[in-house]
Structure 1
Amino acid sequence: MAVQSSGKSGLVVESIADQLYRILCDRIVTGAFAPGARLDPGAIAAEFGVSRTPVRDALARLEHDQLIETRPRSGTFVARPGVRDVHEVCQLRKGIEWVATGLAASLMPADRIADLRAEAVEALRAVEKGDFEPFFASDFRIHREIVAATGNDRLVRARGSVEPFVAWLRILGATGPHRARGSTERHLQILDAMAARDVAAAQEAAAVHLDEVEEWTVADMDSNAIST
């Protein structure tokens, strides 16, 4: 596996362990590695032509993110998300995004708020035609850009730490497209309050939205029987 560099400078921008982490994380959150699947470090090292050291480093990061688990005398396995995981991730999101929404309501440029709103409306029209991918893309961008607008690198990193888990649940069917309309309505409330520079209203809409997401996700997990 080649180490990526920044071009002529030759500076390393991503280590082998980082690349492995990104690839393996993508395989988990897209469902290529199913919940409960066993991961063989030796096979991974052989596939990418690397030593076991960066593989161990990548797996350690995945375990830290709670995407995999190591069982004594059994091996390493893709985790099975449960209701407790959903509650914990949603609590973290509420703390991060409530603060971020308040800051973004003052800091995000009006034209960017308008762009996100227009994208959300178009995505809902696509949902009504049976195409849910624009909604998922819009949902991801709205939450990501609200946090990014704060200019707070620690908030951005904290939000980024839960993004793989959120995407994973979506692939597993625990955040189904049936809730697209409800989520879009909340997104529009948040964006409209931000456009009006109404910090309190934006934060209230964000809090209600994330409470609903938690409730819907737990209900979907029960109906899809994906939790342990």
Structure 2
Amino acid sequence: MTALPLDRPKSLTARAFDRLLHSIVHGEIAYGTMLSEKAVAETFGTSKTPIREAFFQLQSLGLVEIQPQRGCYVPFPTIDKVRELCELRIELESYALGLSMERGQARLLEALSSPFAEMEKMRDGYQRETYHTLDQDFHKAFFVACGNSLLAEVYGSVDPRIQALRANFSSPNEQLFEVSRNEHAAIVQAVADRNLESATATIRDHINRVRDIYSEGIETRKPLDPTLAHL
């Protein structure tokens, strides 16, 4: 068997995909943006082929729409799509939480406590992008000890859409930031108390509140100022 190098560089398509994905889920490429193969290729210093292939991969994640003869469009989600995504989040996260509390409560608590401790440090100095990353880590922790890799895989397939919503429609209301922190604290406490009913109820309320914030942003058809954020 021919030996292969362990650290093969990523293909141009993979690198283009990674850069575009990062820009979309962090709100650097906002909803409503039209992406040109030619312009993106020039920016990345490559041909249009890997850019076109990266666009197709992004479309498979539900992040863009490829419009023939026009380019690649980052669409505004509809209120119905946000509702559907939030309903799916509630079911996936609640189920994974239940499995994790049953199969690895100590490991789950450790996975939740780490990002939450960092969130607590932001009381006197809120940092938008850092908080978003911690929020993502917190919710993904539900899947750490669930013992079901397929469940985690399904959540991972929709996670980029969740991140993009956070980045585009975060609320600048500092009071809501405190509400969010309190909800995360309640989930950690419920897990520590082995109170699954309380934990899942808080998850449901938390995601439904976020759904309402996103829906309000969509109704105005304008992402909130990315320099002012909460969730």
Give the TM-score range, shorter chain: 0.7 to 0.9
Aligned partner of 2:216: which letter? Answer: A
Match of 1:183 in 2: 180
Report the CA distance between 1:51 and its aligned residue: 4.7
List runs of 5+ in structure 2 lacking aligned partners. 225-231
Deviations 1:39-76 (A, max 9, x none): 22234345445554432221112112222112243222
Match of 1:131 in 2: 126
Instruction: Give runs of aligned pairs for residues 190-205 of structure 1, distance below 5 A.
Output: 190-205=187-202
Asked if the contact 1:102–1:202 (Cα under 8 Å) also holds between the matched residues in 2, the reply is no
Inter-CA distance 31–141: structure 2 relative to 1 (3 Å threshold): closer
Aligned residue for 1:160, secondary structure, equals: helix
Aligned residue for 2:112, secondary structure, equals: helix
Aligned partner of 2:205: which letter? Answer: V
Tell me the distance in 2 between the aligned counterparts of 1:122 and 1:28. 24
1:168 to 164, 170, 173: 164
Aligned partner of 1:163: which letter? Answer: D
Inter-CA distance 27–79: structure 2 relative to 1 (3 Å threshold): same
List runs of 5+ in structure 1 lacking aligned partners. 1-7
Aligned residue for 2:82, secondary structure, equals: helix
2:17 is equivalent to residue 40 of structure 1? no
Match of 2:25 in 1: 29
1:152 to 141, 148, 163: 148
Match of 1:3 in 2: none
Asked if the contact 1:21–1:61 (Cα under 8 Å) also holds between the matched residues in 2, the reply is yes
Inter-CA distance 37–207: structure 2 relative to 1 (3 Å threshold): closer
Report the CA distance between 1:138 and its aligned residue: 2.9
Inter-CA distance 150–19: structure 2 relative to 1 (3 Å threshold): farther
Aligned partner of 1:146: which letter? Answer: F
Aligned residue for 1:139, secondary structure, equals: helix
Asked if the contact 1:63–1:69 (Cα under 8 Å) also holds between the matched residues in 2, the reply is yes
Report the CA distance between 1:181 and its aligned residue: 1.8
Matched positions, count: 220
Tell me the distance in 1 between the aligned counterparts of 2:143 and 2:171. 21
Instruction: Give runs of aligned pairs for residues 37-116 of structure 1, distance below 5 A.
Output: 37-48=33-44, 50-110=46-106, 113=109, 116=112
Report the CA distance between 1:135 and its aligned residue: 3.6
Aligned partner of 1:196: which letter? Answer: D
Residue identity (%) = 26
> 176-185 or 90-99: which moved more?
176-185
Asked if the contact 2:169–2:214 (Cα under 8 Å) also holds between the matched residues in 1, the reply is no
Aligned partner of 2:37: which letter? Answer: P
Report the CA distance between 1:119 and its aligned residue: 4.8
TM-score by length of 2: 0.77
Inter-CA distance 29–118: structure 2 relative to 1 (3 Å threshold): closer
Asked if the contact 2:112–2:141 (Cα under 8 Å) also holds between the matched residues in 1, the reply is no
CA RMSD of aligned residues (A): 3.1
Inter-CA distance 226–81: structure 2 relative to 1 (3 Å threshold): farther
Inter-CA distance 221–170: structure 2 relative to 1 (3 Å threshold): same
Report the CA distance between 1:118 and its aligned residue: 6.7
> 15-24 or 97-106: which moved more?
15-24
Asked if the contact 2:119–2:134 (Cα under 8 Å) also holds between the matched residues in 1, the reply is yes
Asked if the contact 2:108–2:144 (Cα under 8 Å) also holds between the matched residues in 1, the reply is no
Tell me the distance in 2 between the aligned counterparts of 1:46 and 1:135. 33
Aligned residue for 1:149, secondary structure, equals: coil
Aligned residue for 2:179, secondary structure, equals: helix
